[in-house]
Amino acid sequence: MSQPLISIDVVALRYSRSTKQVEVALVRRQFEPSAGRLALPGVLLVSGELLDDAVHRALRDKAGVMREYVRAIGDVGVFDTPGRDPRGPTLSVTKYVILGDKFEVGEGVTMVPLADAVGLPFDHDVIIRRGARIVHDKLWVDRGATESLLGHEFKTSDAADTQDALAAAADPQAPKTNRTNLARDLKRIRWLAEPRTGPAAGEGRPSKVWSFID
């Protein structure tokens, strides 16, 4: 029996303030199987290569994303379901990446809202759902992941939109965030400063702007 190949697949996420969505980076496959379809960026691990180096190589070579745009990297898991790849046995070691807000979309990558990242080849739907769950569970617990996703300053609405997008990707039946309760919870987080009042959005109430304590 042949040894399974080891691939590194990357769930690269960012929060877009313009769309109010958490988006995932997808690339169009050049070769079979599933040539022409959108999928997660990934590469085969080469001998002696560190996992995080393979992550950066996948982002650079497949999506045109340079190392300086990566704000956080973490583990999603290993996927080894038989038949997941029609070419033969493979193990997929998967990582999540959070892209900084200065990231600009290039020709090699398509940023897709998590809600629309379905029907992908292999088991990439499952990988994205698990990655979304892991990042969701890090919100307000892991400062590095939270600040990487939301930026140094954010509104309560940004926090709620981010939380809702990740929760819905992990579980479509997840309830929406109660924004009043969320604002109360944010006040208890030791690494967030007391919020300041931002400008009102249209006819609405002025927004609260939160920031991370330096």
Question: In which domain, by residue range, is 62 found?
Answer: 5-211
Q: What is the pTM of this model?
A: 0.93
pLDDT at 100: 85
pLDDT at 200: 59
Rounded Cα–Cα distance for residues 82 and 61 (Å): 27
pLDDT at 31: 84
| pLDDT tens digits for range 29-70 | 988 888 899 999 999 999 999 999 999 999 999 999 999 999
Q: Which has the closest alpha carbon to 100: 14, 214, 10?
A: 14
Rounded Cα–Cα distance for residues 118 and 128 (Å): 9
Contact 34, 121 (CB under 8 A): yes
pLDDT at 108: 80
- Mean pLDDT of each 10-residue bin along the chain, 214 residues long: 82 94 95 91 95 96 93 96 77 95 79 95 96 98 97 96 97 94 96 86 74 95
Amino acid in position 71: R
The CATH number of whichever domain residue 20 belongs to comes to 3.90.79.10
Rounded Cα–Cα distance for residues 92 and 77 (Å): 8
Q: Which residues does residue 197 pair with via DSSP β-bridges, in sequence order? A: 208
- Give the count of domains, the chain: 1
Q: CB under 8 Å to 125, separation ≥6 — which residues?
A: 117, 118, 119
